[in-house]
Amino acid sequence: MRRTPSAIEREIKQTRPFPSQRQEAAVALMRTADTLRHTLAQFLEPLGITAQQYNVLRILRGARPERLPTLEIAERMIERTPGITRLLDRLEAKRLAHRERSAPDRRQVLCGITPAGLELLRRIDGTVNEVEVRSLGRLTDEQTRQLIRLLDLIREGTP
């Protein structure tokens, strides 16, 4: 009897079954994350910012009125990036973020969001929420909570 390919196997046009369900789940998770990232990027691109820049702006808005050290922003990022300084350079050039040296420790650079950065986030919050609802809207509230718990378990087991 012929096996029916899973949704992810059909989507990536895989002709053989995965060696294990865990491998299939990992591939499905990575494909889903890429799909969500791509959807967000398509929305943000016409606004002149990347998903990583958007992430930095959200981090800075959440920290207000405090300013954050550069390395702490890097630690809070959804996607790890070695180029946090370049990201901040671009946001500063667009006047969406600002940096200044810490008075007590001149080696430390503190970052904050500008009024223009806050305004940009205000303008796009609703649309980003719509993108999230469209992407995850098929899940019930209980399924969403379960998904969050499962994703937490995966991250806990990942070095």
In a domain, 73, yes or no: yes
Residue 24, pLDDT above cutoff 70? yes
How distant is the alpha carbon of residue 41 from its chain centre?
Answer: 10
Q: Is residue 155 part of a domain?
A: no
Q: How many domains does the chain have?
A: 1
Distances (CA, A) of 46 to 37, 50, 149: 15, 10, 34
For residue 79, tell me if it sits in a domain.
Answer: yes
Residue 81 φ then ψ, to 5°? -140, 135
145 assigned to some structural domain: no
Helix axes 51-63, 21-44, angle to 10 degrees: 80
pLDDT at 57 over 90: yes
Q: Average pLDDT, stretch 82-93?
A: 92
> What CATH number corresponds to the domain at position 124?
1.10.10.10
- pTM reported for the whole predicted model: 0.83
- Asked if pLDDT for residue 102 goes beyond 80, the answer is no
Q: Is residue 21 part of a domain?
A: no
pLDDT value of position 101? 79
* Residue 89 domain boundaries: 52-130
Kindly state whether residue 139 falls inside one of the protein's structural domains: no
Angle at CA of residue 64, ends 132 and 127, nearest 5°: 20
In a domain, 153, yes or no: no
pLDDT tens track for 128-149: 888 888 888 899 999 999 999 9
Is the pLDDT at 10 greater than 90? The verdict is: no
